[in-house]
Amino acid sequence: SAVISQKPSRDICQRGTSLTIQCQVDSQVTMMFWYRQQPGQSLTLIATANQGSEATYESGFVIDKFPISRPNLTFSTLTVSNMSPEDSSIYLCSVDGETGNTEAFFGQGTRLTVV
Amino acid sequence: GQSLEQPSEVTAVEGAIVQINCTYQTSGFYGLSWYQQHDGGAPTFLSYNGLDGLEETGRFSSFLSRSDSYGYLLLQELQMKDSASYFCAVNMGKIIFGKGTRLHILP
């Protein structure tokens, strides 16, 4: 299993500002994933972060809006840039388990409200 | 793209058995997973089917039929704590989630 520490757990931000979310894993992992979840909705994959290379973004998500860093095998950040109320959501980071891609572990999420 | 459909809500009685279905339109995936998420919590892994057939883990079982593009999660001996949202997901180097099923359990 993997233990993931994600912070902040929640924040209220002004529109037009940016927020950086941090994700720390207790073991080295190849890939880290960032998801967005609207209340009562499913998880939508934003991007996959690999150490040493640029993140791979899913359709509808762009690097200018959601820049990601992956400086080492245990840490990643997601920045939500130039925020608007539509960015209000829960953001979760995730990693694969030791058995590869059969199961994922999640941080507790960051509940973001943009006012 | 990938598409996974689930019923939006299911209601069952405590102690009973409930089945949550998942139909998908995708290919080239390694397996089908199931996750549970309580309100305000993070998703937690329940089960994984890499091959067709039934996988059993305690009160939870999961089934996959690739030929039918179909899977299900079976929960037995329902308890009130099983009230949560359940997501099927395809594993394909990244994990893509279905729309989720809200399970309501009546006493």
CA distances for B18 relative to B25, B35, B77, angstroms: 24, 15, 9
How far apart, in whole angstroms, are the C-alpha atoms of residue B77 and residue A68?
43
Q: In the beta sheet, which residues pair with residue A110?
A: A91
**Per-residue confidence (pLDDT) for residue A51, from 0 to 100:** 85
Candidates A21, A55, B27; CA nearest to A45 is: A55
Q: Is B33 on the interface with A (CB under 8 A)?
A: yes
**CA terminus-to-terminus distance, chain A:** 37
All residues of chain A having their beta carbon less than 8 Å from the beta carbon of residue B35 are 104
User: In a mutagenesis test of the A interface, which of B33, B60, B87, B97 is the best target, namely the one with the most A β-carbons within 10 Å?
Assistant: B97
How far apart, in whole angstroms, are the C-alpha atoms of residue B66 and residue B97?
17
All residues of chain B having their beta carbon less than 8 Å from the beta carbon of residue A102 are 30-31, 33, 48, 50, 91
**Per-residue confidence (pLDDT) for residue A44, from 0 to 100:** 97
* pLDDT-based confidence at residue A99 (cuts at 50, 70, 90): low
Closest chain B C-alpha to A90 CA, distance in angstroms: 10
DSSP B37-100: E-TTS--EEEEEESSSEEEEETTEEEEEETTTTEEEEEE-S--GGG-EEEEEEEESSSEEE---
pLDDT tens-digit map of A29-80? 989 999 999 988 999 999 999 888 899 999 999 999 999 999 999 999 999 9
Positive or negative, the CA dihedral B40, B42, B79, B105 is: positive
Closest chain A C-alpha to B43 CA, distance in angstroms: 7
User: In a mutagenesis test of the B interface, which of A103, A105, A110, A111 is the best target, namely the one with the most B β-carbons within 10 Å?
Assistant: A103
Q: Is B91 on the interface with A (CB under 8 A)?
A: yes
pLDDT tens-digit map of B16-70? 999 999 999 987 888 999 999 999 999 999 999 999 999 999 999 999 999 999 9
Structural tokens at position A51? 């150490």
Closest chain B C-alpha to A53 CA, distance in angstroms: 16
Q: How many CB atoms lie within 10 A of CB A65?
A: 16
Indicate the residue type of B36. Q
Dihedral angle computed from the Cα positions of residues A29, B3, B64 and B16, in that order, rounded to the nearest 10 degrees = 100
Q: Is B48 on the interface with A (CB under 8 A)?
A: yes
**Per-residue confidence (pLDDT) for residue B72, from 0 to 100:** 98
